[in-house]
A and B are shown apart, each in its own frame.
Chain A
Amino acid sequence: MNLMNRLLRRSRRSEMGLLDYHRRIWLQVTVALTLIFLYAPIVTLMAFSFNDSKRNIVWRGFTFKYYEKAADNAELIEAFVNSLTIAAVSTFVSVILGALTAYVLWRFRFRGRSIFEGVTALPVVIPEICMGVALMVFFARTGFNTGNCVWPLNLSAITIAHIAFSFPFAAIVIRARLESFNRELAESAKDLGANEFQVFRDIVVPHMKPGLIAGGLLAFTLSLDDFVITFFTSGPNTLTFPVKIYSMVRFSVTPEVNAASTILIVITVIITALALRLQNRNNMLQAG
């Protein structure tokens, strides 16, 4: 009580406006600490990828050496290409499946709808390790062994696994977007002569678009950096980027790992920025 009064008196004494929170020292400090906590490890990792030293401890001068080394590492490049391929296919399929799931749940009332909705959201809450083991057992029992096929078919199992855990995320995002849909828009199109499919194509999908982009972005990043599920479903001959980095780290954390990680981060940031820009433009078009 006493402290409260003192605080109140102090804020009254200061000449700050009611909403001038950003001028308070403690708030600025909190924000700064949060940013450091979040980004210091990443910035350090990126900085040390330019470090001219075999060990990642002391700064010994600037170099691009480890980027060249990473680029020369055929296995690393192969893993990288694999990861991008898996992410691209998985994103494409996840967005379509997610959009259809979201549309069905939003548009129709049917028996068992809430159960279906719950089951769809399950992969989001199931621990990844369980999902990984389950998928591994599933592929083993069904004899779905693509590890020795030609590229890119050897990635089928991993891709299927990635689609299985990322399409529910896309569905949730798209479903949320659909909630803001004014049903009179669909009725109006129907009133003007459009059939069910034309309403979906001309009116519903354009409204979904920001959700499709956001859902796709989510699916892409989920797939690109997934380790646990990939680890359980990849054969001995199929490497993805996170799995490869993990195996490199097991020997020693060299700046080469930092360089590879930095490239991954830069790609993710660029794609995120692009997607956000697209979404903003869409939102501006849809406003009002």
Chain B
Amino acid sequence: MTSDSAENKPIIEIQNVTKIYGSDVKAVNKVSLEVNRGEFFALLGPSGCGKTTLLRMLAGFETPTEGAVIIDGQNMGDVQANRRPVNMVFQSYAVFPHMSVAQNVGYGLKIDGVSRKEIGKRTDEALELVKLGGLGGRMPDELSGGQRQRVALARALIKRPSVLLLDEPLSALDAKLREAMQLELVRLQKTVGITFVIVTHDQAEALSMANRIAVMEAGVVRQVAGPTELYENPASRFVADFIGQINMFEGTANQAGDGKVKIGTPSFGEVVLDGTATGNVAFAVRPEKVNISRSKPTDAGIIAAKGHMTDVAYYGGFSNVFVDIGAGAPVLAEVSNSTRDAGPGYTQGDEVWVSFKPSNTLLFNH
């Protein structure tokens, strides 16, 4: 491992960046982020949260109203989009329709005045890299959507940028192809070693591909963390709710000493959790950590409530069952269908117990 200071510095530093449209629409509000060299970084959030605006400020298509964008140690304040050491894969792929695949891929090099021989060699390499070898002579309208995206990828990678930006790159592909492309993007990122920054609204996509994820909401970054941390230890109710599915229960908390907190709830009685909180709180549990049983669970300290099943949604490998426990929204439990014969083994109207370990819950102060 080299200890060169440039190697250890983040490749992208976003410092207190704000973007205001018109007079007062804050698309991005005082965002500070660092992306490390060689990382697969995801900007995740619902539509309109400012993630695309942030990406476009990295590419140079938008100018921050306040704050600074530093890429590879260089302040991008006065650097135009065509002079930045980044390349972008657009949501529509933006493959030039009047140019062949090879012309598309080689366009950036041609603009840079690279010799024709060198362009030809590097175009072939780039096409090989995205598994489009031999298709250089095709026109874009002779390609499928997935192939066009590979052209866009090859075209962006051929200039060997410091950072590759991807704006919702998989949203136009069908489900099967999308999953294959997710794996392939990760493989590609490892092969070329370039930092990838991807914008997506699909949390499963972000969790499966990225090393680190920034969750954004209303122009603000809510949490930056790795996928596991984000899923198992969300910093706020918003993040917990946005990433995956979650059951949220309201209650009133009293501090009980020993770092324990007693929460009075309408459906589970008194629940004892680790943590510190008083007043109105919420605790939450992920559906796959909820157990369903016919008889009352007897494990010490387990949180349980009796209810009846309102719905069963079958997804093949697992089923989502909804149990009404008499207060609030029905509890969602994910039941693995690990044997062929019976599916989840429950039907609508069954009386069942839902239960989960206190250690699997998350506690949120209001």
* CB within 8 Å of B: which A162-221 residues: 182, 184-185, 187-195, 198, 202-203, 206-207
- CA of A206 to CA of B139, assembled, Å: 15
Find out whether the CB atom of B87 lies under 8 angstroms from the CB atom of A288. Answer: no
Q: Which of B98, B112, B140, B159 has most A Cβ within 10 Å?
A: B98
- Report the bound CA distance from A187 to B88 in whole Å: 9
Chain B residues with CB under 8 Å of A192's CB are 82, 87, 107-108, 111, 155-156, 159
Q: How close is B82's CB to chain A, nearest CB, in angstroms?
A: 5
- Residue A286, interface by CB 8 Å: yes
How many angstroms from the CA of A198 to the CA of B97 in the assembled complex? 16
Q: Is the CB of B98 within 8 A of A206?
A: yes
B92 x A191 contact (CB < 8 A):
no
Q: Which residues of B contact A182 (CB under 8 A)?
A: 92, 94
Q: B86, B90, B96, B141: which contacts A187 (Cβ < 8 A)?
A: B90
Asked whether any CB of chain B lies closer than 8 Å to the CB of A19, the reply is no
Q: Is the interface of A mostly helix, strand, loop or mixed?
A: helix
User: Which partner residue on chain A sits nearest B90 by CB separation?
Assistant: A184
Among residues 61 to 108 in chain B, which have CB atoms less than 8 Å away from a CB atom of chain A? 61, 80-83, 86-88, 90-92, 94, 96-98, 107-108
Residues of B within 8 A of A202 (CB): 96, 107
Cα(A288)–Cα(B107), bound, Å: 20
Within B124-141, which residues are at the interface with A (CB < 8 Å)? 139-141
Tell me whether B333 is interfacial, beta carbon within 8 Å.
no
Q: Which residues of A contact B112 (CB under 8 A)?
A: 193
The reply on B59 being an interface residue by CB < 8 A is yes
Instruction: Judge if A57 is at the interface, Cβ distance under 8 Å.
Output: no
Complex Cα distance, B140 from A203, in Å, reads 14
Contact assessment for B140 and A288 in the assembled complex, using a CB-CB cutoff below 8 Å: yes
Which of B94, B111, B140 has a CB less than 8 Å from the CB of A194?
B111
* A185: B residues at CB distance < 8 A: 94, 96
Q: How far is the CB of A188 from chain B (nearest CB, A)?
A: 4
By a CB distance below 8 angstroms, the chain A residues around B90 are: 184, 187-188
Number of residues from A at the complex interface, CB < 8 A: 21
Residue of A nearest to B56 (CB): A187
Chain B residues whose CB sits within 8 angstroms of the CB of A287 once the complex forms: 97, 141
Closest residue to B107 on the A side, CB-wise?
A192
Give the contacts of A268-288 with B (CB-CB under 8 A). 285-288
Evaluate whether A191 and B107 lie within 8 angstroms (CB atoms) in the complex, with A184-B92, A185-B94 already known: no
| Minimum Cβ distance to chain A for residue B329 (Å) | 41
A203 to B61, CA, bound (A): 17
Contact B81 A198 (CB under 8 A): no
Residues of A within 8 A of B152 (CB): 188
Alpha-carbon distance A192/B89, docked complex (angstroms): 11
B87 touches A285 (CB 8 A): no
Residues of B within 8 A of A198 (CB): 111
Cβ A203 vs Cβ B96 within 8 A: yes
Residue of B whose beta carbon sits closest to that of A191? B88
Closest beta carbon of chain A to B175's beta carbon, Å:
22
Say yes or no: B107 contacts A187, CB within 8 Å: no
- 23 A-B pairs within 8 Å (CB atoms) are namely A182-B94, A184-B90, A185-B96, A187-B61, A188-B155, A189-B96, A190-B81, A191-B81, A191-B86, A192-B87, A192-B107, A192-B155, A193-B82, A193-B159, A194-B111, A202-B107, A207-B98, A285-B98, A285-B141, A286-B141, A287-B97, A288-B140, A288-B141
Q: Which residues of B contact A (CB under 8 A)?
A: 59-61, 80-83, 86-88, 90-92, 94, 96-98, 107-108, 111-112, 139-141, 152, 155-156, 159
Name A's B-contacting residues (CB within 8 A): 182, 184-185, 187-195, 198, 202-203, 206-207, 285-288
What 6 A-B pairs are tightest by C-beta distance, nearest first? Answer: A288-B141, A192-B108, A188-B94, A184-B94, A193-B111, A206-B98
